[in-house]
Structure 1
């Protein structure tokens, strides 16, 4: 998020939102969310405001399911 924020300020090429969501899906959701809040980046995008917390909830639920049933 820091890298994307700096590039946004400079008006340079940015990281695609799809890439950021893929990072979140493979386990980086907490880092993405913390980065959004820390660097105040993409905080008004509804997809990040609601999507990243949703991914975190699904990841927590899948870990609990895995622990409980296996």
Structure 2
């Protein structure tokens, strides 16, 4: 359980940092982080970091794919955690 919590913490920090880097690159007109990479990070339980990055940095908040998709992933992950993982992990 402890390892899982450390993983969740790290992947969410990583997701937030990805949003920060992408926001800075968008301001400078440079090559950007792909939306697929952001969504894959979210699916790998980094959705809260991506979500916090969206709204604290005001990044991707006008894209329906993110405004609807990231909260949907969070809800799905909460369901998975409470339905399955909570019972498996001591």
Unaligned ranges ≥5, structure 2: 1-18
Partner-residue secondary structure (3-state), 2:60: coil
* 2:27 is the alignment partner of 1:9: yes
Q: CA RMSD in A?
A: 0.9
Q: How does 1:14-33 map to 2 (within 5 A)?
A: 14-33=32-51
TM-score, normalised to structure 2, is 0.74
Which residue number in structure 2 is paired with residue 39 of structure 1?
57
* 2:85 is the alignment partner of 1:56: no
TM-score, normalised to structure 1, is 0.94
Which 4+ residue blocks in structure 1 deviate beyond 2 angstroms?
A: none
Deviation at 1:36, TM superposition (A): 0.3
Deviation at 1:52, TM superposition (A): 0.2
Task: Count matched residues.
Answer: 69
